[in-house]
Structure 1
Amino acid sequence: MMKHYEMTDLGLLYHFLGMGVVQTNKHIFLHQKKYATKVIEKFGLKSCKYVVTPLVASERLCKEDGSEMADMSEYRQIVGSLLYLTATRPDIMFASSLLARFMHNPTRKHMGTTKRVLRYIQGTLDYGIEFKKGKAATLIGYCDSDWAGSEDDRKSTSGYAFTLGSDFGEEQVEGTPILCDNTSAIAMEKNPVFHQKSRHISIKFHFIQEAIQAKEIELIYCKTEDQIADILTKALSKDRFVHLRDLLGVKLARGLEGSVDV
């Protein structure tokens, strides 16, 4: 990179803005173990029993759940800390964003859920996000939506994840692949036959169709079980959560080749 950019070599990077950086021959690993540990200790959960998922798959949160009001100041501090952790822990992105909806009037049930997320972090302190070296610079996107998942207004929660390879200086001339598990949505955008059936859709939303025609993006079908963005839209069962967490790149440090220690 020094051939392309003006820079000074200060050696290997170990810390940056509160994040730990570990480099091996094949990986770069980012984590926030030190910060996460401090957060857990701050809110009195140092010796808590950990859980394997941040949210209960069958549980739904809403603004008015019948429980008493919680300490707003403490709730906001916890949620703010969780949002900062998403820099290297996108596996808690949905849980953190969901809890942020109740900042103004948190209940005891909401507070209990924040504590559950901290218990999940307690059991995954050595996890972070992995970047593999040597991958071609190809931008690939995953998108998904939880249909009418909000208990309060029945609005949908959308999520997307993009990956870009690690090699610099490469030009991507083909359209960016967008992986979607909705065959109807793909057919509607690719097949002009469907236009008469979708005339009620405002013209301003046809930009996806235009992007496909301009070869800027390409919609590709992705099996639901491999739809990475699903972890960003809803609470999942243990097996599915762990599977998608791995695909998302959130890994255990010791599992990486090169004996990584945090």
Structure 2
Amino acid sequence: MTYVPKQAENGFEVTPHELTEVERSPSSPCIFTQAEEQENVIHEHADTSQPDDHTPLKWRNINDILAQCNLCIVEPEKYEEAAQDKVWIKAMEEELSIIEKNKTWELVDRPSDKQVIGVKWVFKTKLNLDGSVQKNKARLVAKGYVQKPGIDYNETFAPVARLDTIRTLIALAAQRSWKLFQLDVKSAFLNGILQEEVYVDQPEGFVINGKEDKVYKLYKALYGLKQAPRAWYGEIDSYFAKCGFEKSLSEATLYTKTRGEHDILIVSIYVDDIVYTGNNQEMLDEFKEDMKEKYEMSDLGLLHHFLGMGVIQTDSSIFIHQKKYASALLDKFGLKECKSVSIPLVATEKLSKEDGSGAADEEQYRKLVGSLLYLTATRPDVMYAASLLARYMHGPSNKHYGAAKRVLRYVKGTLDYGLHYMKGKKAVLVGFCDSDWGGSVDDSKSTSGYAFSFWSGVFSWASVK
């Protein structure tokens, strides 16, 4: 279902339509009405009712129209804008309801010897994989940038799952014919218990009449506090320990629980996203129900989308990919219609800091290379190229930028690439490594690379100088 705007009495509202026919007029430049389905294009008509409008008859691609429609999904930047829309008002009320339910704070007199931290509303429209609206989310965040170390907070570090661990878990599930499931903790940071004494102002738009001078004393964390991630990790880690889970010695976010000699449940957490699998359906169901009872949870069912990666589970394999992300990169950097190439880099070309080709846009180059580095989550085939280009983040040349764009041209021809983990394959750990000899033109240092596969697919790789 695609969401497009239609004109309302006091603005534009978003309503679902399968396809749209676009009409233009000077008085109404963006009016959308429902029309019959067409295959890949939308017919745009000139408004003949206006004699001075000579817009010619032409065809527009459906994707171009949908891109413009997305512009109508505007996220408010401040409370005054959000207060004009019932959807955002409801989202703010839901956020405060969760805070109250969690017993996150208590209204108290303003302290004279403590700093009171301000809060603000942050608004975000969450989209589904197909671009449709999933949820309008309002988040109350603390202005943590005013916190003072040693007074308002102490430690802030909190671990997250490594991608190597996630891929290993997926490979294991594929080999053992297990299903992967996902849970999402609603407002996870609000569950973290604070060790420090912290006060915040009442949120804008929800100041209690007659108690304007009072503030909230926090017992649990708010988003934006510097110690919020650590407080949440401490809470979930403590809960897992009470439930009989054993934490991995090498991965602080990986937990296992066994029953008898053969049954096992494996859980990996990435902030508020929880991925779990195992060979005992009863243990899986018990874990899900226990988590729902302890925290506000969203049961996402089978794992389909995680950290920007698409996950396709079938009876014979598990496939992970970043096709949507890769396609978005091509659009972002203007290479949607480019001609693809067969390899990421020119094999005989040597890159160096001083190549005399002139300076490139440093900001654009960093955006492009950073995007390529994230693409390596499921694309080891571009790991070497992305790692090589990352050496020139400071002062890139036009030659470097051209090489980076060539990698995108390679991605254009390999959008469907990803990692395929087969079920039932023999459990064998295989590693490959290689290195050149003084390959760097700038400092004669060598570049080393490795890749490890477990069962049927690669799960860990790197390319470093």
Normalised by the size of structure 1, how large is the TM-score?
Answer: 0.61
- The residue type paired with residue 352 of structure 2 is C
Task: Figure out how many residues of one structure are paired with residues of the other and give that number.
Answer: 171
The CA distance in 2 between the partners of 1:149 and 1:136, in whole Å, is 37
Q: Does 1:4 align with 2:264?
A: yes
1:89 aligns with 2:349: no
Corresponding residue number in structure 1 for 2:312? 22
Match of 2:362 in 1: 72
Q: Which of 46, 60, 80 does residue 350 from structure 2 map onto?
A: 60
- Which has the greater radius of gyration? 2
Cα displacement (A) at 1:139: 2.0
* One-letter amino acid of the structure 1 residue matched with residue 380 of structure 2: P
Q: Any idea what SS the aligned residue of 2:264 has?
A: coil
Contact 2:431–2:450 (CA<8 Å) still a contact in 1?
Answer: yes
In structure 2, what is the Cα distance between the partners aligned to 1:140 and 1:124?
Answer: 25
The percent identity for this pair of structures is 63
Aligned match of 2:431: 141
Task: Give the corresponding residue for 1:49.
Answer: 339
Residues 10 and 43 of structure 1, relative CA distance in 2, 3 Å threshold: closer
Instruction: Give 1:56's aligned amino acid.
Output: V
The amino acid across from 1:25 in the alignment is D
Q: 1:54 corresponds to which letter in structure 2?
A: P
The answer for unaligned runs of 5 or more in structure 2 is 1-177, 179-256, 258-262, 266-282, 289-298
Distance 1:53 1:150 in 2: 20
Once residues 88 and 40 of structure 1 are traced to their aligned partners in structure 2, the CA distance between those partners, rounded to angstroms, is: 17
CA gap of 1:146–1:233, structure 2 versus 1, over 3 A, is: farther
SS of residue matched to 1:46: coil
Give the residue type in structure 2 aligned to 1:128: G
The ranges of structure 1 where at least 4 consecutive aligned residues each deviate by more than 4 angstroms after the TM superposition are 231-234
Name the aligned partner's letter for residue 82 of structure 1.
L
Give the deviation of 1:136 after TM superposition. 3.1
TM normalised by structure 2 equals 0.35
CA drift of 1:154 comes to 1.1
Q: What is the Cα deviation at residue 17 of structure 1?
A: 1.1
Aligned partners of 2:366 and 2:393 also within 8 Å: yes
What is residue 120 of structure 1 aligned with on the other side?
410
1:10 shift after superposition? 5.4
Indicate how the Cα distance of structure 1 residues 136 and 10 shifts in structure 2: closer, same or farther if over 3 A, else same. Answer: farther
**Matched-pair contact (CA < 8 Å) for 1:145–1:233:** no
2:446 paired residue among 132, 142, 156: 156
Larger RCO: 1 or 2 (CA < 8 Å, sep 6+): 1
CA contact (8 A) 1:144 1:233 kept: no
AA in 1 matched with 2:329: V
Deviation per residue, 1:126-166 (Å, 9 max, x gap)? 11111111223332211111111111111111111111237
- Tell me by how many angstroms 1:59 deviates: 0.6
Output the amino acid matched with 2:421: F
Deviation per CA, 1:180-231: give whole Å up to 9, x if none: xxxxxxxxxxxxxxxxxxxxxxxxxxxxxxxxxxxxxxxxxxxxxxxxx8x9
In the TM superposition, residue 82 of structure 1 has moved relative to its aligned partner by 0.2
Cα offsets for 1:110-133 (capped at 9, x unmatched) = 000000001110111111111111
Distance 1:75-1:10 versus aligned 2 partners, 3 A rule: closer
* Residue equivalent to 1:132: 422
1:101 alignment partner, SS class = helix
Task: Verify the 8 A CA contact 1:18 1:32 in the aligned structure 2.
Answer: yes
Is this contact kept in 2: 1:51–1:119, CA < 8 A?
A: yes
**Mapped partners of 2:447, 2:317: distance in 1:** 32
Structure richer in helix, relative to its length: 1
Q: Distance in 2 between matches of 1:92 and 1:109?
A: 18
Pairing 1:109–2:399 present: yes
Q: 2: CA distance between counterparts of 1:25 and 1:146?
A: 41
SS of the residue aligned with 1:48?
coil
Kindly provide the CA deviation profile for residues 30-82 of structure 1, in whole angstroms up to 9, marking residues without a partner as x.
00011111111011111111111100111110110011100000000000000
Over aligned residue pairs, what C-alpha RMSD do you find? Answer: 2.3
C-alpha distance in structure 2 between counterparts of 1:19 and 1:140, whole Å: 24
Please say which of residues 136-145 and 116-125 is displaced more in the overlay.
136-145
SS in 2 for 1:135: coil
- Structure 1 residues without counterparts, runs of 5 or longer: 167-228, 235-262
- Aligned-partner SS, 1:140: strand
1:4 is aligned with what amino acid?
Answer: I
Counterpart Cα distance in 2 of 1:49 and 1:59: 20
Equivalent pair of 1:91/1:232 in contact (CA under 8 Å): no
Could you say which residue in structure 2 is the equivalent of 1:98? 388
